[in-house]
Amino acid sequence: MIWIWLLFVLYAIFLAPGEGIGTDWIFRDLVSGHFQMIDPLVVMMFSSLGIFPILFAILLLRMDDRVIPAWPFVLLSFGLGAFAILPYLFLRSRSRLVTKRAFTPLRPLLSSRLFPFALLVGTCLLYGYGFINGSINEYMEAFQTSQFISIMTVDFFVLTVASFYIFWFIRKEGYKSLLCFLPIIGPCLLLTATRHRSR
């Protein structure tokens, strides 16, 4: 995980194409909520990065059993995405177990199947909006002209790999973990279909 994080940082600093956020009208319109002039595929990807942190909250806070707490990294992921999640996964793998965590009262809510099912439905609707109304050509143009969009796109795929890592190496779901390569939808399907294994 740490090598993926380092490569992602190098990409964001040195390799991402396009205008910086200071002169990027796409970034300005996205963060201000003015989506009318932006391709729906771009809006879909941007919105998906708001769903991923909720997914990681479900996955990590209810398994928060290490000396390094998960909640600061989950909180930061709402703004930093994979830049926050990957360091936690690296540190978690090298931390010893603890018996209690402050988020214990939230575990019943986070373990509910209804929560990931709602994310699943919302994500399907979002993907439908993006793929039906969006244009691959316009998205690729935005990728080349907006540094924010290029970093955001790579972030999306890195978070997809991170969700696979959690299901394969932490939750030990075996080959079912391959569903995680259906971004957000796959992990939500797994969470909806199986009960959380108490630790």
The predicted-structure confidence for 88-145, as pLDDT tens digits, reads as follows 999 998 888 876 565 556 667 777 888 899 999 999 999 999 999 999 999 999 999 9
Residues of the chain with pLDDT > 90, as a percent, come to: 76
pLDDT at 109: 72
Triad 27, 33, 37: Cα angle to 5°: 70
Helix spans in 33-113 (H): 40-56, 71-80, 82-92, 107-110
d(CA 59, CA 55): 6
Triad 182, 184, 186: Cα angle to 5°: 45
HSE-CB for 48 with a 13 A CA cutoff:
31
Measured on CA atoms in the order 24, 30, 32, 38, is the torsion positive or negative? positive
pTM summary value: 0.92
**What would the pLDDT profile of 38-74 be if each residue is shown by its tens digit?**
999 999 999 999 999 999 999 998 888 888 889 899 9
